[in-house]
Amino acid sequence: MDIDVCIRPIGTMRCDFTERYETPRQPAFAGEDVGVIELSPGMNFEQAVVGLEGFSHLWVLYGFHKNKPAERPVVMVRPPRYTSEKVGVFATRSPHRPNPIGMSCVRLVKIEGRRIHIQGFDLLDGTPVLDIKPYLPMYDAHPEAITGWLQPGSYFKVCLSETAKTQQTQLTQELGVRLDRYASVQLQEAPLDETRKRIEVLADTQGVLSYQEWRIHYRVDLQAQQVLVTRFERESKTDRNEESEGSRNEKMLKFDDE
């Protein structure tokens, strides 16, 4: 027998992430950015958070509000980079699910009335929050768990050169653009994989990551598992329209002198 379940969001996520490709693939790989869950007014939720301040981590259930409705539920998906075979959607954390519900474990920073400040999240600005529960390590942590088809991956530490740091400071102050955060999210896994849409490998250990009109140049130290972002460049609109293969480097406009 079919049962309809009516769920009303308890609040909304507020943060700087506005596009899906800006967020980490898992909250464990998120940086130190702080976001805020704003609980809905008029529901006495100020009382609902009493006692929550004593916990270090929370489970957050939310809706994938930017997913387009599918005519039929997605049942098979191909996880990025971990396997070449499709697997069942219930064996993955794909956001494209029969019910578009996500779940993330986040760090609690502080609570101010109806505002819950968190770190280590992978939610977008405007995400509807459905529920919040405390993380209990004695029940929720299972280090002996088996991960099925998922093989442990190699993760890279992403750093900025002095040139890139100077450029990023200027970008933040003048344009509010955070290329450093985008690079950290996108390059922590498989930074030299040319099958990824926004990556171009220039040499064995050098690459360019695209972000809108920006190009992020970097070098990879495979032995140290580290990515060094060397500089940012901005591509002009004319160059994007006229660009031909093999001429990209000549048509770049440097954002700042090295």
Q: What is the pTM of this model?
A: 0.72
Final residue in a domain of this structure, among 140, 167, 197: 140
- CA distances to 12, 14, 72, 97, 152 from 89, rounded to whole Å, are 26, 28, 13, 7, 19
pLDDT tens profile 33-92? 899 999 999 999 999 999 999 999 999 999 998 887 777 888 998 876 556 688 999 998
If one counts the domains in the chain, the total is 2
Final residue in a domain of this structure, among 140, 174, 198: 140
Secondary structure of residue 215 in the 3-state scheme:
strand
**Which is higher by pLDDT, 48 or 25?**
48
Residue 26's pLDDT band (cuts 50, 70, 90): low
Among 141, 114, 147, which Cα is nearest to 10's?
A: 114
Q: What is the DSSP string of 195-214?
A: TSTTEEEEETTEEEEEETTE
Share of residues in the chain with pLDDT > 90 (%)? 49
What pLDDT is attached to residue 254? 40
Q: Do 89 and 191 have their domain in common?
A: no
CA 96/CA 118 separation, integer angstroms:
25
- Can you give the residue range of the structural domain that contains 203? 157-254
Q: Do 164 and 103 have their domain in common?
A: no
Among 52, 40, 45, 30, which Cα is nearest to 105's?
A: 30
What pLDDT is attached to residue 68? 79
pLDDT tens profile 222-254? 989 999 999 999 987 655 555 544 444 443 334
CATH number of the domain bearing residue 246: 3.30.2310.20
**Which is higher by pLDDT, 38 or 212?**
38
